[in-house]
Homo-oligomer: A and B are copies of this chain.
Amino acid sequence: MAEVNALELDSREKILDAAEKLFARRGFSGVGLRELAEAAGISKSGLLHHFRGKTELYAAVAGRILHEFEKRTLQAISAGGDAFERFDRWLDAMIDTLAEQPTRARLLLRSLFEDDDLAGESEEEKAVDQTIERLFSHVARLLREGMEQGVFRLASIPHTLQSLVGLLVYHFASGEFGETLLRQSLFAPAAVRKRREAVKALLYGGILVRPQVAAVQAT
C-alpha cells in the first residue's frame, strides 16, 4: 500500500539501522525491545517476527558491521604493493570505515570488550566471533609478511594488533570524552584528517625526536 515515502526500506534494514544506533550508544543491556521497535517504526512483536530475540538482533547488527570491516580490509590488503604500502592503505581504509559512520567504532569496541557479557552459545554469536577472528588474522598475516621482509621491526604480532585497535577504534568510540578533548566533533572531516596524521606519525616514527632503536628486542 503506497506509503508516503517511496524509498521505504525493508523493515529488516530499518530495524538493523535503528538497533545499530541504539546499541552503539547504550550497549546491549541499556536498550529495551520496546524502544528499539519504536525507533524502527514497528511494534515489538513485529520486530520479533524478524529476529528471534534480542541477542540475535545484536549479533546481526555486530555481524553487519564486522563484515563491512572485513570487506574493506580485504580490499585494502589484497591490492598490490609491498607490505608497507598495503599496511598504509589498510590504515586509511580502517579510518575511513570508522569515520563514515559514528556508530561503528562504538559497536566494534563493544563487540570486542563486552564479549564475555553473556558469552552466548548461539550460532549467530559464534559467527560473529569467527568474523572477528578472520578479520584479525588478515591483518596478522600482513604484519608477519612485513616483518619477514624487513619492513616492520620485529614485534609481537598480537600486541601490535591490540595497539592498532587501541589507536584506531578507541579514538572513534570515545564519544563525548574525545570531543571534549579535541574540542570538536570526532567525525568532522578536519578531525578525521588529523587523526589519520596523528596515527601515522606515531606508528611510523614514534613520539621521540631522537627515536630509540628499541633497546627492547622483539620476542
Residues on A close to B: CB < 8 A?
25-30, 84, 106, 109, 112-117, 119, 132-133, 136, 150-153, 155-156, 158-163, 165-171, 173-178, 180-183, 194-195, 197-209, 211-214, 216, 218-219
In the complex, are the beta carbons of B209 and A151 less than 8 A apart?
yes
| Beta-carbon contact of A204 and B200 below 8 Å | no
- Given known contacts A166-B170, A167-B163, A204 and B207 CB-to-CB distance under 8 angstroms: yes
- Chain B proximity of A63: nearest CB distance (Å): 16
The answer to whether B216 and A201 touch across the interface, beta carbons within 8 angstroms, is yes
Q: Which of the residues B113, B132, B207, B216 comes within 8 Å of A173, measured between beta carbons?
A: B113
When distances are taken between beta carbons in the complex, the residues of chain B under 8 Å from A115 are 175-177
Contact sample, A vs B, 23 pairs, CB 8 Å cutoff? A26-B29, A27-B30, A30-B117, A106-B113, A113-B174, A113-B177, A116-B176, A152-B208, A155-B202, A155-B207, A158-B181, A159-B171, A159-B182, A160-B202, A162-B182, A166-B168, A170-B170, A197-B219, A201-B214, A203-B206, A204-B211, A204-B212, A211-B211
- Are B174's CB and A112's CB within 8 A? yes
Contacts of A175 in B (CB 8 A): 112-116
Q: How far is the CB of A111 from chain B (nearest CB, A)?
A: 8
Whether the pair A204, B204 counts as a contact (CB closer than 8 A) is no
- CB < 8 Å neighbour of A195 from B150, B159, B161, B201: B159
